[in-house]
Structure 1
Amino acid sequence: MPKSQRWRVCSTPECPEFTQHGKCDAHRAEAEQRRGSARQRGYDRDHEVLFRKPVIARDPKCVCTAEGHGHCGPCGQPSRHADHHPHSRRELQALGLDPNDPEYGRGLCGPCHSSHTAREQPGGWHR
């Protein structure tokens, strides 16, 4: 049986429910509600027009240089995500900076963006 089909206990401490994912349905829904929608987190039309489009236009190829990706320079795949860098959107807001300023972004491909999110963001997959 493939690994993705195996049943395991919910990753929420003390939850006895079995799931094929990390969290059971109830805890996954609870986590999504705490997280809020993309619009509630600030990813609205301004983000799309003022941040994402200019960052992707400036960096049409992925500029990720993180170690552990199997490369030592930009991977060169087409950029699909405008990633806030070197500070997260939350950090920029806390510093009083405009999180929609393309100066604080970089273009990343899907795998590099996912890997960065898993390693660096609060609540990332490996934390």
Structure 2
Amino acid sequence: MPRTQWRVCSVPRCPEYTRHGKCDEHRREAEQQRGSARQRGYGRQHERRFRPAVLARDPRCVCASTEHGHDDPCGEASVHADHWPLSRRELTDRGHDPDDPQHGRGLCGPCHSKSTAREQPGGWNR
């Protein structure tokens, strides 16, 4: 098991050491600000309509694996129904139904994390 190094919390001027990006106190604060999935708009329609339909249509990750020098899909098992090319927030702002499966794609965990980091710099609270 690899050892994780200790580092200073990523919140400016916080002197606490952590093995993660933020210390425990700042992680708790960020989670409270983020709110629950329901508070962020992921309700029953997302669970019953959007997610199952997207994962049934895309059982394998459709994200292009450009880091390996080609544009072929990753091909790992899809575990996330990702809103794409517009975010859930953008779809809602434009008057579209964010739970319509046509607005989604199936992604594996690593590709979803990379996409979120790239498309939502600064995280969910921006």
Alignment partners' CA distance in 1, 2:111 and 2:21: 22
Could you tell me which residue of structure 1 aligns to residue 56 of structure 2?
57
Query: What amino acid is the match of 2:112?
Result: H
**TM, length-normalised to structure 1:** 0.87
**TM, length-normalised to structure 2:** 0.88
Deviates more, 1:62-71 or 1:21-30: 62-71
**How high is the sequence identity, in percent, across the aligned residues?**
69
Deviates more, 1:112-121 or 1:86-95: 112-121
Q: How does 1:11-90 map to 2 (within 5 A)?
A: 11-65=10-64, 67-68=66-67, 71-90=70-89
In structure 2, the CA distance between the partners of 1:70 and 1:108, relative to structure 1 (3 Å rule), is farther
Could you tell me which residue of structure 1 aligns to residue 108 of structure 2?
109
Deviates more, 1:67-76 or 1:46-55: 67-76
Deviations 1:72-103 (A, max 9, x none): 21112221110000001111111111110101
The answer to whether the Cα contact below 8 Å between 1:81 and 1:110 also exists between their aligned partners in 2 is yes
Runs of 4+ in 1 over 6 A off after TM superposition: none
**Where does the alignment leave 5 or more consecutive residues of structure 1 unmatched?**
none
**Where does the alignment leave 5 or more consecutive residues of structure 2 unmatched?**
none
- The CA deviation at 1:68 is 2.4
The answer to whether the Cα contact below 8 Å between 1:69 and 1:112 also exists between their aligned partners in 2 is no
